[in-house]
Amino acid sequence: MTKATGSWSRRQFLLAGAVTGGSYMLPGLRNAVWAAGSDAPEKSALRVGFIPLTDCAPVIMAAVKGFDKKYGLQLQPSKEASWAAVRDKLTSGELDAAHALYGMIYGLQLGVAGPQHDMAVLMTLNNNGQAITLSRQLQEMKITDGASLQRAIAAKEKGSYTFAHTFPTSTHAMWLYYWLASAGINPFTDVRTVVVPPPQMVMNMKIGNLNGYCVGEPWNQRAISDNLGFTATTSQAIWPDHPEKVLATRANWVAEHPHTARALTAAVLDAARWIDASEANRQETARVIAQRAWINTRVETIEGRMLGRYEDGLGKRWQDAHPMRFFNDGAVSYPWLSDGMWFLTQQKRWGLLKQDPDYLAVARQVNRIDIYQQAASAVGNISVPATSLRSSTLFDGSVWDGSDPAAYAAHFAIKR
């Protein structure tokens, strides 16, 4: 691992150290990393969209704990009703940036998640922390895993079972499709899939509209707490330490506000590091984001899984080896090119992309490693990897390292 330096001047490092607790303390510089001048944020008040999910935490805590002011910003988190609303407000300019679905941003870049827009991923907000929930009705039928679900689906008319995800190119659609296909279930022909906003998943299961869903926390734990469903699998069981939400904006917004983009990334990155620094910080975060202004649920519904303490609703409890992480010495936050490319392979697998794109070129265009490195330097004491590709093994034995994305997309037995 090497320290990010980019093209930063000695003056900028001194200013950063003055407010980040580094060894470069200058008297009188307490409230902002950048002094008024050419490197100051071009825009200070920013509307940042979010969906009420546990993984919005770095954005919320950046505003609540004052990390935004440290970098000369005033963040105004804006609660949105759906991912489609986030998409529309982000692309129209109503939002400056957003807590966003990785696959949605790449889908916009290639015009398969709405009208084409050049987009920018500034950093990854979290790894892990999503799940697939099945209904109590399925449990009563002794359907508790992929194999038993496959047998039940095969015995009924196609489309008899309905599963929800959050957006057509969402991470949740990809986790759901991947898990179903690994059990021999074609998500496009064997079952019916629908889009439901995350906060509405539990109610739709309660009234019988859904047999299962894939969503972020706390809406999987909420189904258990309300005795409506159980966790069939977690997303980290599918891919340990997988990429999840990102801090995203439009490419032209970064071009017009490069210093603001850097400051925003630094503020959220600093907040992410603070959250992961201790269990006490995670507990405080759970108490904050549970409030009505943010997620609007009971603290205990968020806190357990945020601390890695899982129950599946079927009697099993465990300390998860891959809980939701927000920083992990920067390994979470770094916008790995291979992470973005993986979502493109799944969009190709499921027919959302008709042809193989230039996977690496798209990832290099979208994932703004340059902005991230500058922000990491401003925050201080953050390592960045020597390579922008990483290797992972998914639960079916499939190895993903970004080296041959077209072959990877084509190798699956079930695809569209």
Give start and end residues of each alpha helix (H) in 66-159: 67-70, 83-92, 102-109, 136-140, 146-154
The domain in which residue 82 lies consists of 2-125+242-302+325-399
Q: What is the CATH number of the domain that holds 148?
A: 3.40.190.10
Q: Same domain for 293 and 266? A: yes
At 25 the pLDDT is 27
Q: Is 311 part of any domain? A: no
pLDDT tens sequence across 64-85: 999 999 999 999 999 999 999 9
288's enclosing H/E stretch is: helix 279-289
Domain boundary among 203, 238, 273: 238
Tokens of 302: 């968020």
Q: Is 112 part of any domain? A: yes
Q: Same domain for 224 and 248? A: no
Q: Same domain for 52 and 29? A: yes
Q: Same domain for 190 and 251? A: no
CA 360 to each of CA 343, 393, 394, 403: distance values in angstroms, whole numbers, following the listed order: 12, 20, 21, 9
Q: Is 318 part of any domain? A: no
Closest CA to 106 of 345, 402, 412: 345
Q: Is 368 part of any domain? A: yes
Q: Same domain for 392 and 255? A: yes
Q: Do residues 105 and 344 touch, judged by C-beta distance below 8 A?
A: no
Q: Same domain for 286 and 346? A: yes
Q: Is 415 part of any domain? A: no
Q: Is 317 part of any domain? A: no
Q: Same domain for 391 and 251? A: yes
Tokens of 110: 């290639």
At 322 the pLDDT is 98
At 276 the pLDDT is 98
Q: Do residues 99 and 55 touch, judged by C-beta distance below 8 A?
A: yes
pLDDT one digit per residue (tens) for the chain, 416 residues: 433 333 333 334 333 333 333 322 222 233 445 544 578 999 999 999 999 999 999 999 999 999 999 999 999 999 999 999 999 999 999 999 999 999 999 999 999 999 999 999 999 999 999 999 999 999 999 999 999 999 999 999 999 999 999 999 999 999 999 999 999 999 999 999 999 999 999 999 999 999 999 999 999 999 999 999 999 999 999 999 999 999 999 999 999 999 999 999 999 999 999 999 999 999 999 999 999 999 999 999 999 999 999 999 999 999 999 999 999 999 999 999 999 999 999 999 999 999 999 999 999 999 999 999 999 999 999 999 999 999 999 999 999 999 999 999 999 999 99
Q: Same domain for 390 and 264? A: yes
Q: Same domain for 15 and 140? A: no
Q: Same domain for 148 and 108? A: no
Q: Same domain for 391 and 288? A: yes
Q: Same domain for 279 and 348? A: yes
Q: Is 319 part of any domain? A: no
pTM: 0.91
